[in-house]
Each structure stands twice: as structure tokens, then as C-alpha cells.
Amino acid sequence: MTKTPYTRNLGTTGPQVSALGLGCMGMSALYGEADRAESIATVHAALEAGVTLLDTGDFYAMGHNEMLLGEALRTAPAALREQALVSVKFGALRDPEGNWSGYDGRPAAVKNFAAYSLQRLGVDHIDVYRIARLDPDVPIEETVGAIAELIEKGYVRHVGLSEVGAETIRRAAATAPVSDLQIEYSLISRGIEREILPTTRELGIGITAYGVLSRGLISGHFTRDRQLAAGDFRAHSPRFQGENLQHNLNLVDALREIAERKGATVAQTAIAWVLSRGEDIVPLVGARTRERLTESLGALDVTLDAADLAAIEKAVPADAAAGDRYPSAQMAHLDSER
């Protein structure tokens, strides 16, 4: 496939994918109820629009998201299904009540998780496989080594990483070729620019950026009086609380002025900013409906020149956000924040 402005490579060893990927988590978990039929229709619409990278996790609603994505792939036209590349995160441990109880990166667990994911997704291989968070009790070399064994047997195509810091990235890359690091990156989450992004670029590892709209906070659609549904984890997210929320939505108001001058939406401008940060970065958009997907895809046609980027930097400087990106208990699991 010839590389176009709408395709990018996942690092020097990874596959060519669409310039935007679709993050499927919200179709099953953490944002309240979702419409299954609309979710599947959104996956189909993404594939029809040329989106090839689909991201999920085996722990999103305890397998629900993989089964939903599997159904979407099974019911898509064959030509579109064959173009899809599936990225899967594994390792998070949960109980029947949905509580979180750590991460498991042991080689036997890696292979066990993969076996179940292949079955739920209805595929014969996973394109990119990554542990969601570093298991502090298992060396990353062992976890990545197990993925490499799955690659040798044809069950996985590429090693990915998620939310790990520069030292862990180097150790992983010394064990096996790594296609990409999945990590939060947006106008208001720019921590990777200090050490992590320079490291991935040195090693030829791509970035799949999630949270590009900061879970809707900088989408232009989140209002100060919005009542979050039961089960929506944003109700406990520091950036959505009290004065933090007011401060952060003030940043959105400043961004809105720039977006309107560009004839774009706030969401499109925020996504376009992430796209502008380098050809090695592929934003994942968490659209749950065809309407939001269409808006997000419009970012591909938004060009930000030097004056635009300077105006955005002034409106939303690095480290301008109020509040951490996760509650403290979850921040403690992030090797990328150490």
C-alpha cells in the first residue's frame, strides 16, 4: 500500500496504518451505557472511511469489547475486514464486581490472555499485542519475550508497549523489535515530550496516542453543568472535578476561538494538533457514534500552520491543565509517570 497523507507507519518495524485509529473502549466500558448497534455501525463506518487501526483491551468490560469488535469485523464486508489491524492490550486483572487488582505479565499469563483474545475476536492473529501497564513483579524482558514467542508461532504480528517510561522502553526494545508505544498524549497531557518521545524517536518506535481529547474534556462538547452517568469513570477523574473542571474548560474556550477562525471544531483542532506533532504519531479517537467519528475524521483535513500552532501554544500552554490525568491509585501503576 502506497503511503499517503492519510497513512502512517507504526515505527520502523511496525505496520502501515491509517493516520487516525479508532479506540473502542468506550463502546463497552467506563463511559456509561453505549448502544451496541451504533457501536458496530461506527466500526463499520470507520473501516469504510479508511481507518484500519482498531484498538481494544481484553479487560474492557471483561471481554465484552473484544466480542463486540469481533462481531463488527465478522459482519463487515470481507475487503474491509481484511484491511483491519487489531491492537490489543492485556494484563489487567479484575474481579466479578469489576474491581481492579493489578497486572500480570508472566509469560504463561501472556499466552493465556492471547488465547482468549483470539477466540473472542474471532481472528487467527493479533496485529499488535501489548501489556496495558507494567507488571512490577515481572521484568519487561520476560513479558516481551513471551510476545516474541507468540510472534514466532504466528499468533501475533508485532510487539507494542503501553504507558511505560524511557528505561523500560529501552529494555523492551533490546529484547525484541517494538512497533509502538501506546500512551496518553494531547494538548493538556504533554508529559511524553520530556523524555519518552525523544527515546521512542531514537529507537524508531512509533506512538499511538490515546486520550487526544482528554476523555471528551477538550472535545468542545463537555459542559460545566453536565451530569455524568452511572459507571462513567470521569466522575472520579481529577480533571473533571470542581475548580479543576472550571479551569480546564476555560482552556477549551480559548481553543474554541482558534478553531472557529480555522472553520473547524474544537475536537478537530485538538486532534489536528496531535497529528502535527510528527509522522510517527497516530492518534486514537474514541468515537462511540458515527456522528463523532465523522467529526474526528475531519481533523485530517485541518492544516495548522506556524501561526496556528503558536496561537494554540499560547492558549493552552504545556502543563496548563489542572489535575492529574488519573486518580492517584491509578497514577501509581504508570511506569511512564515515574
Other C-beta atoms lying within 10 Å of the C-beta of residue 19? 21
Distances (CA, A) of 332 to 83, 136, 238, 289: 37, 11, 14, 32
What backbone torsions phi and psi does residue 285 show, to the nearest 5 degrees?
-105, 135
Integer Cα distance of 333 and 9 in angstroms: 29
Closest CA to 89 of 73, 75, 71, 69: 69
Site of grid cell 473484544:
66
Cβ-proximal residues to 266 (8 Å cutoff; 6+ apart), any chain: 218, 219, 220, 221, 252, 255, 256, 259
326 is catalytic: no
What pairing do the DSSP bridges indicate for beta strands 92-94 and 85-90? unpaired
Cβ-proximal residues to 209 (8 Å cutoff; 6+ apart), any chain: 182, 183, 184, 185, 186, 274, 281, 282, 283, 284
Q: Which of 31, 60, 155, 210 is catalytic?
A: 60
Integer Cα distance of 55 and 76 in angstroms: 16
Cβ contact 181:195 at 8 Å: no
Tell me which residues are annotated as active site.
Answer: 60
